[in-house]
Amino acid sequence: MKQYRYSGYRSFQYLEPGVDYKAFRLAKELDRVPSTVVPVTPEEEARVWRLLQENLVIDLHEHAFVVPDDVGEIFEYRRWGRDWTGYEGLTRSGIDVVFDNMMDGTALVTSRNGWKWDDVVYDIGMRLSDIHHQDFLVPGLTLEDLTQAKKKGQIAFVISLESATMIENELDRLDILYGLGVRCIGIAYSEANSLGAGLREARDGGLTQFGREAVRRMNQLGLAIDVSHSGDQTALDTVEVSEKPVFITHAGARALWNSNRLKPDDVIKAVAQKGGVIGIEAAPNTTLTHNHPRHSLESVMEHFEYCANLVGIDHVAFGPDTMFGDHVGLHHAFAAQLSIGSAHGSVSFEEVPYVDGLENPGDFPNIVRWLVKHGYKDEEIAKAIGGNVWRVLQEVWYR
C-alpha cells in the first residue's frame, strides 16, 4: 500500500456538530459495498504498488466527497453547503492528484436548479475552508504543487467544474474562478448555455461567439478545458478554437454503446489530434458495452482499450467520476438537474447499484491491477495513469 501523510482528520472537525452545523449520518468511506479486487499474483500486486509509487498518478475526474447514508437527505445536505471530503477513503486510492469537480451542478444553497454563480462560489469556499484545516489534501494550483504533494505523501486537490454555465455572459468571471483555485472547466453540461450546447440538446449549434471568446480567455488564463458534457459540434468547435490541447475528462466511446453521454470517434480523434486526452468514465451505468452490458470494471476497460486503439496510448487516461456513497441513488435524486434521462437516451440497460471494481475513488488501484494482468508494459501504464495528463498540463497551465 502507498503510505500517505494522513493524521485521521475528518471534515469540519474544527467545529462542533449540532451547534455550528447540522450533522448527517454519512456513508462509509471504506468497504461500503463488496467491490471486487482484481485478482493478481503477489508479484503482480507488488508491481502494481511500485507503479503507483514511482509515477505521478493523476485521477482526471472525481467527486471525492461523502454522500449521506440515507441518500434521501441529499437535498438538505447540499443546502447546508458542507460537503464532507472522503479523506480516509482516499488513503486507499494510490493517487497523487485528484481533479475534484465539487458538486457544482447540485449546489442548491440559493437555487433549486443549480449552476448559479453564488452557489458555486459558496461551494468552492466552503470546501477549501475545510481543506485548509488539514495537511493531507493540499490545493493543486501549479505543476510544482502536484509534484511536491507526491514527494510529501500528500494528495493534490485540483478544483474543477463541469460547466461554465455560472459565468453567464461575464467573461471576467473566468478570471475570478481561476483566482479562487479552479484549474479545469467544462464548456457546457447538459443544457445549452451562453458558450455552447450540452449533450441534452437535440440541435447543437456549436460554440457561440461568446463561447469562442471564453475559450480564448481560458487559454490565456491557463485554465484546462473539458468537453465531456458538451454536444458533439460544440466539442469539435472548442478543439478547433482552442490554442491548447483539450480534455475529455470523463467519457467513453459511443461506438461501444449508443449514448449521448459517450463520445463519437470523430470527437475523440479531434481531441487527440490537438494533443488532448480522454479520461475513461466509470460512473454507474455510463460506460456500458454490448460485450459487457452490466456495468463493471470490464465494461470500463473495454472503453479504455477501444480509445487506446483508436487514437493511441498517449491520449487516454482515467476519470472515473466516482464518490463515497450511493452514486445511483444520487443520480435518481438529481435526475432533473443532471439530465440523466437525456444522457442515456432511449438505450435500455440493466441498472447496477454500483460499478463492481470501481465503486469509489479508493478503487483506483484496480485499474492498474487490470492493466498489469492484461500484459501492459510499465511505460504504457505510466502514461495512462498520469503521464498523459501531465503532458497536457505542461502545455496548458500557466507557469
Q: Render pLDDT for 60-82 as a digit per residue (tens, 0 to 9).
A: 999 999 999 999 999 899 888 89
Minimum mean pLDDT range among 85-89, 289-293, 349-353, 375-379: 349-353
Distance, in Å, from the CA atom of 212 to the CA atom of 189, rounded to the nearest integer, reads 17
pLDDT band with cut points at 50, 70 and 90 for residue 158: very high
Count of all residues that appear for the chain in the document: 399
Q: What is the pLDDT of residue 151?
A: 97
Mean pLDDT calculated for residue range 142-153: 98
Three-state DSSP class for 162?
coil
Spatial separation of the C-alpha atoms in residues 301 and 371, rounded to whole Å: 9
Average predicted confidence (pLDDT) for the chain: 95
Residue 126 pLDDT > 70, yes or no?
yes
Percent of the chain residues topping a pLDDT of 70? 97
3-state class (DSSP) for residue 304 = helix
Residue 236 and residue 225 in contact, taking contact as beta carbons nearer than 8 Å: no
How much is the pLDDT for 122? 92
Average pLDDT for residues 123-137, to the nearest whole number? 97
Sign of CA dihedral 298, 296, 256, 241: negative
Do 227 and 235 touch, CB atoms closer than 8 A?
yes
Lowest mean pLDDT of 50-59, 74-83, 135-144, name the range.
74-83
What pLDDT score does 112 carry? 76
pLDDT (average), residues 277-293: 97
Q: Which of 36-50, 123-137, 142-156, 328-342 has the lowest mean pLDDT?
A: 328-342
Residue 348 makes CB contacts below 8 A (sequence gap 6+) with none
- Label residue 251 by pLDDT band (50, 70, 90): very high
Chain segment 192-214, per-residue pLDDT in tens: 999 999 999 999 999 999 999 99
Taking the C-alpha atoms of residue 84 and residue 66, their distance in angstroms, rounded to an integer, is 5
**Beta bridge mates, 68:** 26
Task: Tell me what pLDDT residue 106 has.
Answer: 78
Q: Is the pLDDT of residue 257 over 80?
A: yes
Q: Which DSSP letter does residue 26 get?
A: B
Amino acid occupying residue 212: R
Residue 136, C-alpha cell as written in the block:
493531507
Specify the amino acid at residue 181. Answer: G
Sign of CA dihedral 350, 356, 361, 365: negative
- Provide the grid cell at 161: 467544474
pLDDT at 78: 87
Q: How high is the pLDDT of residue 107?
A: 75
How many C-beta atoms surround the C-beta of residue 302 within 10 A?
22
pLDDT (average), residues 289-294: 96
* Listed ranges 114-123, 303-312, 333-342; the one with the highest mean pLDDT: 303-312
pLDDT at 351: 93
Pairing label, strands 247-251, 277-280: parallel
pLDDT tens digits along 332-367:
988 755 555 555 555 678 899 999 999 999 999 999
Query: How far is the C-alpha of 193 from the C-alpha of 208, rounded, in Å?
Result: 9
CB atoms within 10 A of CB 336: 11
Q: Give the confidence band of 109 by pLDDT, cuts at 50, 70, 90.
A: confident
Close Cβ partners of 231 (under 8 Å, ≥ 6 residues apart)? 188, 192, 196, 197, 198, 199, 201, 204, 206
The predicted model scores a pTM of 0.96
C-alpha cell at 246: 483539450
Q: How far is Cα 200 from Cα 226, in angstroms, rounded to an integer?
A: 16
Mean pLDDT of 25-47: 97
Q: How far is CA 295 from CA 291, 317, 322, in A?
A: 10, 19, 14
**CATH numbers and ranges of domains, the chain:** 42-240+320-396 (3.20.20.140)
